[in-house]
Amino acid sequence: MKNLYLILLLGIFSCISSPNLDKLIDAKQIEQDILVLASDSLQGRAPLSVGEQKTLAYLEERMIGIGLDPAFGDSYLQEVPLAEITSAAPKQIEFSIAGGRLSMADGEDYTLWSPLLKDEFTLNQSELVFAGFGIDAPEYSWNDFEGINLAGKTVVVLVNDPGFHTGDTDLFNGNAMTFYGRWPYKFDVANRFGAAGCIIVHEEAAAGYPWSVVDRSGNNTEYYLNNEALTTNVCGANGWITREAASNLFEFCGLNYEEMKRKATVPGFKPIPMGAKFSATIRNTWIESSSYNVGGVIKGSERPEEALVYTAHWDHLGIGVPVDGDSIYNGASDNAAAIAWMLAIADGFTKLGSAPERSILFLSPTAEEAGLIGSQHYVNNPVFEHSKTAACFNSDVILFLGRFKDVTVTGLGHSELDEYLAEEAAKQGRYIAEDPNPENGMFFRSDQLPFLRVGVPALFAKGYTHQVEMGKEETLKAVEKYWRVTYHKPSDHYIPEEHSLEGLVEDTKLFFRLGHKLANESYFPKWSKTSEFYVER
């Protein structure tokens, strides 16, 4: 009798457990958080501004109200040291071979900067080496730096990866960009192999953006995570050259650019000394300062050393160039809405009344827009060991279009988290979809990236391509319009009369259920063997 009673009781609990989770998501509060975080009074939430002070205060107050413990000792704040480096590149640079010189003009042909805390960085007669795509990928048995000593030398590399350039789906990930295709990877790996300079050839289709996006000749100021790498790294000259300038440079060296590019896509490619020397001096000035990540935790009841991490960056672009008389870049969709998503899930967990088996960290990183700086700093200084962190769920850039049939996974196929998501999405009557533009490499352009790079599987997924009433075609038009008209513009507002948060609320319920499942089991989702981030788990 006692057993029967228990079975009945368990039955009742399992039947109602899912709807109960949904009821704990507070849609009104989601809207309220967005309205506050995207209000003009927060001035576009730029790091180091008054907007930062107000944003941090609000997030801390909300985390306390929700009942989260401070993530960083007795503090909700994690200091993130920043360096704002302004590089003065030479107006002209010169390449020389025996009996010849080729000069190029800043902004027109190349753009150059130094990512180091050094007043001056000089390349003096630095030997040029064509290093293909600048990729070292053991899982593809691919190393564009094989057998060459790069000390003091400058590598010239191609953007994207061999898969994109050949369209061969067996080569890297075909048309979809891999992390090896992204410029931060290329500068990093050139430094790792000891090069003194790294220049990427810009091609618009392969990069995914025009020359104007990479050209820094007008404003060469960048934020960096201020750690020892800024003084110990050896690669002190980073830059891009246009495709046309590259073509001239190769010709000047007696090489054909298109032919070299073709060679670079063939497995077994070896770096090619170009026979030319490169000289340039870059002068830097910088300002050092600190911004802050905000984090709260729920301590796990059974395995508190194991964790899940939810992330949503708090920073946006602040006050900038006015558009239609509006100079405040409010960042409602990017990323006030994702912060609201994260806080609502935290609130759901604390309302459950009992802690999950694993700990959960709710992290709002700073300086995402400046290059994932806050999340990188967290990963360098984590609260939970990476090998004990089961997953990272990140959110960024939310559409206010209403409910979606799809859950679009940016970076589909990297880990078993896809299956976890598909199972929960099906309970909402939704299906998993691929990113419609995988060539843009969006998976590597938000806060999940630093986690991926240390072996923590991550999901970056949301309703995106199939709004319920609009259908796919109209939805994709609306998405295209968003990127063109709203993204990173002062018009990134949330307007209750015009916008719908129903899709966001549904995504919030989805990621609450997903986190609830994963926080109450002991399994660590595994990487796909084909992922460039694969590690044994």
Instruction: Please say which residue, 33 or 334, places its beta carbon nearer to Zn ion.
Output: 334
Beta strands at 318-323 and 142-143: parallel, antiparallel or unpaired: unpaired
Nearest to 306 by CA among 420, 382, 366: 382
If residue 19 lies in a helix (H) or strand (E), which one and from where to where?
A: helix 2-23
Check residue 366 for interaction with Zn ion (CB under 5 A). no
Write down the least CB distance from residue 331 to Zn ion, Å: 7
Instruction: Please say which residue, 111 or 375, places its beta carbon nearer to Zn ion.
Output: 375
Check residue 315 for interaction with Zn ion (CB under 5 A). no
Binds Zn ion (CB under 5 A): choice among 26, 334, 418, 424: 334
Instruction: Please say which residue, 116 or 317, places its beta carbon nearer to Zn ion.
Output: 317
What CA–CA distance (Å, rounded) separates 314 from 37?
A: 9
For residue 256, is the peptide bond before it cis, meaning its omega torsion is within 30 degrees of 0?
no
What CA–CA distance (Å, rounded) separates 389 from 306?
A: 6
- CB atoms < 10 A from the CB of 103, how many? 10
Tell me the window of 131-139, 209-217, 393-401, 451-459 that interacts with Zn ion (CB under 5 A).
393-401
DSSP H helices in 428-534: 448-453, 471-481, 502-519
What CA–CA distance (Å, rounded) separates 460 from 482?
A: 18
Instruction: Please say which residue, 334 or 347, places its beta carbon nearer to Zn ion.
Output: 334
Write down the least CB distance from residue 459 to Zn ion, Å: 16
Instruction: Please say which residue, 160 or 335, places its beta carbon nearer to Zn ion.
Output: 335
Instruction: Please say which residue, 52 or 424, places its beta carbon nearer to Zn ion.
Output: 52
Q: Are 18 and 513 in contact (CB under 8 A)?
A: yes
Write down the least CB distance from residue 54 to Zn ion, Å: 19
Query: The tokens of 131 are what?
Result: 């290093």
Q: Are 274 and 130 in contact (CB under 8 A)?
A: yes
Q: Could you say which residues in the range 478-517 bind Zn ion, by CB under 5 A? A: none
Instruction: Please say which residue, 111 or 364, places its beta carbon nearer to Zn ion.
Output: 364
Instruction: Please say which residue, 126 or 446, places its beta carbon nearer to Zn ion.
Output: 446
Tell me the window of 10-18, 106-114, 179-187, 394-402 that interacts with Zn ion (CB under 5 A).
394-402
Instruction: Please say which residue, 26 or 396, places its beta carbon nearer to Zn ion.
Output: 396
Instruction: Please say which residue, 389 or 448, places its beta carbon nearer to Zn ion.
Output: 448
Per-residue HEC secondary structure of 325-374 comes to CEEEECCHHHHHHHHHHHHHHHHHHHHCCCCCCEEEEEEECCCCCCCCHH
Nearest to 442 by CA among 209, 168, 106: 209
Write down the least CB distance from residue 313 to Zn ion, Å: 6
What CA–CA distance (Å, rounded) separates 394 from 20?
A: 24
Write down the least CB distance from residue 51 to Zn ion, Å: 15
Write down the least CB distance from residue 23 to Zn ion, Å: 29
Tell me the window of 46-54, 221-229, 297-305, 331-339 that interacts with Zn ion (CB under 5 A).
331-339
Tell me the window of 228-236, 269-277, 389-397, 485-493 that interacts with Zn ion (CB under 5 A).
389-397
- CB atoms < 10 A from the CB of 313, how many? 28
Instruction: Please say which residue, 145 or 400, places its beta carbon nearer to Zn ion.
Output: 400
Write down the least CB distance from residue 37 to Zn ion, Å: 13
Q: Are 292 and 60 in contact (CB under 8 A)?
A: no
- CB atoms < 10 A from the CB of 125, how many? 10
Look-up of token digits 């509060």 = 29
**How many of the chain's residues bind Zn ion (CB under 5 A)?**
3
Tell me the window of 224-232, 335-343, 404-412, 459-467 that interacts with Zn ion (CB under 5 A).
335-343
- CB atoms < 10 A from the CB of 151, how many? 10
Check residue 335 for interaction with Zn ion (CB under 5 A). yes
Write down the least CB distance from residue 397 to Zn ion, Å: 6
* R_g of the chain, CA atoms, integer Å: 24
What CA–CA distance (Å, rounded) separates 66 from 58?
A: 12
CA dihedral 474, 480, 482, 488 (to 10 degrees): 170
Q: Are 325 and 385 in contact (CB under 8 A)?
A: no
Tell me the window of 87-95, 198-206, 276-284, 390-398 that interacts with Zn ion (CB under 5 A).
390-398
Q: Are 359 and 298 in contact (CB under 8 A)?
A: yes
Tell me the window of 210-218, 250-258, 391-399, 415-423 that interacts with Zn ion (CB under 5 A).
391-399
Write down the least CB distance from residue 368 to Zn ion, Å: 6
What CA–CA distance (Å, rounded) separates 179 from 438?
A: 11
Write down the least CB distance from residue 463 to Zn ion, Å: 17
Instruction: Please say which residue, 243 or 316, places its beta carbon nearer to Zn ion.
Output: 316
Binds Zn ion (CB under 5 A): choice among 396, 424, 506, 532: 396
Write down the least CB distance from residue 333 to Zn ion, Å: 9
Write down the least CB distance from residue 59 to Zn ion, Å: 16
| Contact positions vs Zn ion (CB under 5 A) | 334-335, 396
